[in-house]
């Protein structure tokens, strides 16, 4: 019984660390994209691109403010709430998101 409890706690800790890694990668990707857009001045091409850029910056700033103010636990809570709203299968693609983020980060570097 104790072994099962330890395994449960251990797997929960791993999931938490994994979620944090996925969230941080998402923030890093947003920042990379913002820097690339600003660097090649693609926001000057159309109103639609300018609007998308503004939304991206707002999302990045909101994530950064939450992380700076409340730390990793707030980001995790926000993601869990998002997953709950999307339904039971929403969390199942977390590995795919992290995998995509890792690939995108590697490609951008």
pTM: 0.46
Please indicate, yes or no, if residue 100 is contained in any of the structural domains. yes
**How far is the C-alpha of 32 from the C-alpha of 38, rounded, in Å?**
10
Please check whether residue 8 lies inside any domain of the structure: no
DSSP code of residue 42: G
**Position 11 in a domain:** no
Query: Which residue range forms the structural domain that includes residue 31?
Result: 17-108
- Total domains in the chain come to 1
What residues contact residue 86 under an 8 Å CB cut-off, 6+ apart? none
Q: Per-residue confidence of the chain (109 residues) as pLDDT tens digits?
A: 444 444 444 455 555 666 666 666 788 888 988 898 888 877 788 888 889 899 999 999 998 888 888 776 655 666 666 667 665 554 444 444 444 444 444 444 4
Q: Is residue 9 part of a domain?
A: no
């Amino acid at each position: 019984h104790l072994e099962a409890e330890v395994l449960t706690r251990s797997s929960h800790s791993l999931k938490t660390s994994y979620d944090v890694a996925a969230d941080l990668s998402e923030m890093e990707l947003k920042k990379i994209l913002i820097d690339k857009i600003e660097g090649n001045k693609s926001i000057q091409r159309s109103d639609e691109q300018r609007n998308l850029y503004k939304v991206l910056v707002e999302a990045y700033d909101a994530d950064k403010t939450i992380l700076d103010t409340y730390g990793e636990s707030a980001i995790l809570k926000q993601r869990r709430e998002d997953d709950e709203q999307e339904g039971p299968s929403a969390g199942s693609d977390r590995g795919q998101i992290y995998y995509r983020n890792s690939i995108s980060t590697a490609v951008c570097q």
